[in-house]
Structure 1
Amino acid sequence: MRAAYLEQFGPPDVIRYGELPDPEPGPNDVLVDVAVAAVNHVDTFVRSGAWRTPVPLPFVVGRDLAGTVAAAGPGAVGFAPGDRVWCNSLGYAGRQGAAAERAVVPADRLYRLPDGVDPADAAAVAHPAATAHLALFVHGRLRAGETVVVLGAGGNVGSALVLMAARAGARVVAVAHPRDTDRLVALGAAHTVDYRADGLTERLRELAPDGVDLFLDTSARNDLESAVDLLARRARIVLLAGLHTRPVLPAGKLYVKDCSLVGFAISQATGDELAGAARGLNRLLADGSLRPRRIEPMPLRAAAEAHRLVEEGKVAGKVVLHTG
């Protein structure tokens, strides 16, 4: 099979494109004919070695895919050849990646693709939307009626946070560029605020006079001093971006209000947590409300260039590699 793979860690040009042996599924695995594989920031962390995780060399890059079942092991109950499927947890923790013509997926990490959903759409939203689901409902413990502030709301994770929080009955304040206002309101934001505005913290306080219940910053600024000041009693901050930030934490203000701060990386999610997120994503994919903002299609052979563009912030939407 043709694949995008590594033989060493390093910059984007360490990615090779060429032939590798077809993977062999185990009894509880599913062999998938890959149609598309997405490129995420976390894929660049694994490739560069910035985020250490067990990987066998040569190592196929990529986490998310959508495709069709080619064969299923005897323990992979519920899957049959021809089934349309997606996955968002390959390419780390010892599992080979998604950027290949064929991939082996553990059956408990593979999910059916709803009828009528474009495989490229599913692959593009899989990582950011699952991240949003887990941040809100597992780590953020979101409840209906709460006020949620989302910084970086115009991005892939941010817009999914807005959609899911609003669907869950929360009042969402979205902080983003003004060009994203109409889209964020359509997704369910009660208020939008220009992230460049002077006095941003004061504006957020005006919109949430009783305090913010859940604060999420996907822009990776992680200004915890301002965030903690905005929190209501027993509010939560979920840290999910900003790998190299070193913010100041006003501990006193945090604990006297019974508030909590939790770090969250989807790579640490359990299989059950990912499956729960997949059920939520599939409902939103099926009803058409969850769609990527923009897809930038590229051929599989261009994986190294795709990684470079993502690392340099030159991608407006989501890069999806096509195997065909």
Structure 2
Amino acid sequence: MYAAVVHALGEPPRYATVPEPAPAAGEVVVEVLAAALYPLVRSFASGGHYTGAAALPLVPGFDAVARTAGGELVYVPGLEPPHGTMAERIAVPATALMQLPDGLDPVAVAAAVNPASSAWIALRERGRLRTGESVLVLGATGNAGRAAVRLARDQGAGSVVAAGRDPEALRRTGELGADRTVPLTGPDEDVAAAFGAAAAEADLVLDYLWDRPAELALDGILRHRTDLARPLRWVQVGSAAGADMTLPSAWLRKADVHVCGSGLGSISGARRNACLRELLDRLPSLEPTTEPVTVPLADVETAWQAPVRPGTRIVFTTPAAETDRAAGTRRRAASAEGAGARETV
């Protein structure tokens, strides 16, 4: 069978033949339909993820949408290299499979789950969002940040402030539920003041940026906060702006600031899976915030290095996806024909 294969860290994977998966006890083989490319996948493939580098050669891909031998559409979470999801078939623990609600598009699900789950876990599990609270999303113009804006509003936030660098993408966060925006452009003192004006009373910050934007945000909030003893929960999710920031000790003494992270090691696998199941059950009612760009897995080497428009995500599809899509079209046509016949009777 074929898979995307990384032979050297820092180089894009190549489409190559690999052995068929050999399931261990308790595992099943599923047919992969769609697997998305996103920063976590790139990080694993480059050897730069904080969990450590995997042995080479490796198959990248952290999650996927697949079809079981019995015909069920499932989401496969949390596979790590060297046995990733970007292959025609994969062996996974049977207990890890999460059945998807009927009627979902595998490609759309593959594009949506990673950014949405990042936001969902940060909001629900790490941030403990309560109804009516004020949320600041730092890095709201990325895929995960956009999902965080939508989900914060969906989960009952009283107000949502979106901060980001891309002016057009930032403007569009209003369509997702943001009440106010903070552009991360201009002199530092202006950016800090903007945070003070828009988010001084925030209860929860979801931070996808870290580095200088986080410094300016926290500085601006603490300078303008009415009650410094009011708890501020800061959930660090990503470091798109940089891996380090300066955090003066006085900031932690002058206010009630609680900093924690949200990532692979921050909650148990059981809790992560429970959050994922909650999210998957909600997918049919959630409007998508990420547009999939479908690419055949055979083109992985070229697409891996291609620029991607904001708000989109590359999703690699296998030959089985085309077969599955054709079968789905036939099923829908048969269902519509049956419904028409019942109407006539």
Flag whether TM exceeds 0.5 (same fold): yes
Matched, 1:172 2:168: no
Higher helix share: 2
Letter in 2 for 1:62: G
**Counterpart-to-counterpart distance in 2, 1:2 and 1:301:** 8
**Counterpart-to-counterpart distance in 1, 2:80 and 2:15:** 16
Residue aligning to 2:105 = 118
Contact 2:181 2:198 in 1 (8 A): no
**Counterpart-to-counterpart distance in 2, 1:115 and 1:169:** 27
Larger Rg, first or second structure (1 or 2): 2
- Alpha carbons of 1:227 and 1:61: their partners in 2 closer, same or farther (altered >3 Å)? same
Matched, 1:147 2:144: no
Give a deviation string over 1:198-227, Cα, whole Å, max 9, x none: 623323322345x22112232454534323
**Counterpart-to-counterpart distance in 1, 2:44 and 2:199:** 39
Matched, 1:299 2:296: yes
Contact 1:109 1:274 in 2 (8 A): no
Residue aligning to 1:58 = 57
Q: Which of 291, 297, 315 is the aligned partner of 1:320?
A: 315
Count residues in correspondence: 305
Deviates more, 1:51-60 or 1:82-91: 51-60
What secondary structure sits across from 2:80 in the alignment?
coil
Q: TM-score, normalised by structure 1?
A: 0.85
What secondary structure sits across from 2:231 in the alignment?
strand
Residue aligning to 2:11 = 11
**Counterpart-to-counterpart distance in 2, 1:45 and 1:262:** 21
**Counterpart-to-counterpart distance in 1, 2:126 and 2:156:** 17
**Counterpart-to-counterpart distance in 2, 1:304 and 1:267:** 30
Percent identical residues: 33
> What value does the CA root-mean-square deviation take over the aligned residues?
2.4
- Alpha carbons of 1:56 and 1:208: their partners in 2 closer, same or farther (altered >3 Å)? closer
**Counterpart-to-counterpart distance in 1, 2:315 and 2:252:** 41
Contact 1:113 1:119 in 2 (8 A): no
Letter in 2 for 1:11: E
What secondary structure sits across from 2:281 in the alignment?
helix
The offset of 1:280, in angstroms, is 3.0
The offset of 1:56, in angstroms, is 5.0
Contact 1:64 1:87 in 2 (8 A): yes
What secondary structure sits across from 1:36 in the alignment?
strand
After superposition, residues 80-99 of structure 1 pair within 5 angstroms as: 81-92=70-81, 96-99=83-86
- Alpha carbons of 1:267 and 1:315: their partners in 2 closer, same or farther (altered >3 Å)? farther
Matched, 1:238 2:238: no
What secondary structure sits across from 2:299 in the alignment?
helix
Residue aligning to 1:76 = none
Gaps of 5+ in 2: 223-227, 320-345
What secondary structure sits across from 1:303 in the alignment?
helix
- Alpha carbons of 1:120 and 1:45: their partners in 2 closer, same or farther (altered >3 Å)? same
Q: TM-score, normalised by structure 2?
A: 0.80
- Alpha carbons of 1:31 and 1:295: their partners in 2 closer, same or farther (altered >3 Å)? same
- Alpha carbons of 1:118 and 1:301: their partners in 2 closer, same or farther (altered >3 Å)? same
**Counterpart-to-counterpart distance in 2, 1:193 and 1:53:** 35
- Alpha carbons of 1:214 and 1:23: their partners in 2 closer, same or farther (altered >3 Å)? same
What secondary structure sits across from 1:60 in the alignment?
coil
The offset of 1:185, in angstroms, is 2.6
Letter in 1 for 2:192: T
Q: Which of 212, 224, 230 is the aligned partner of 2:202?
A: 212
**Counterpart-to-counterpart distance in 2, 1:99 and 1:169:** 36
Letter in 1 for 2:213: D
After superposition, residues 26-45 of structure 1 pair within 5 angstroms as: 26-45=24-43
Residue aligning to 1:74 = none
Contact 1:129 1:161 in 2 (8 A): yes
